[in-house]
Amino acid sequence: MILRQILRLSSVFHSAVSINLRRNIGLSAIVFNKMKELDPVQKLFLDKIREYNTKSKQAGGPVDAGPDFQKDMNESLARLQRAYGEGDLTKFPEFKFE
């Protein structure tokens, strides 16, 4: 009887320690990756994303988008407004819970 209770407690203790260790190892891996230098491919990828971000802020929208893109965008927005009603479809909806 006592042996069964000890085994139950040890399994509960083992699972709690296991979850905690797994979480801490996962967090330390993230911190370690942020501290070390990125490999060249990751660095190039991040540089291109940052470059596109600055270009899109300067252009005020998509970069290198021609008139065909704008025409397709307007047609898609008109089709969505007919299907789902009024409202600005270019913004994320705001939810209000009462």
CA distance 64 to 56: 9
Domain count, the chain: 1
Residue 73: HSE in the Cβ half-sphere, 13 Å Cα cutoff: 10
Q: pLDDT grade, residue 30 (50/70/90)?
A: low
- Which domain covers residue 28, as residue numbers? 1-55
Predicted confidence at residue 85, as pLDDT, reads 76
CA distance 84 to 61: 24
DSSP state of 36: S
Mean pLDDT over 23-40 rounds to: 66
pTM: 0.41
Domain contains 86: no
Residue 50 confidence (pLDDT) above 90: yes
Domain contains 48: yes
Domain contains 74: no
Domain contains 39: yes
Domain contains 93: no
Domain contains 47: yes
Domain contains 38: yes
Please give the backbone phi and psi of residue 46, each rounded to the nearest 5 degrees, phi first: -65, -40
Domain contains 44: yes
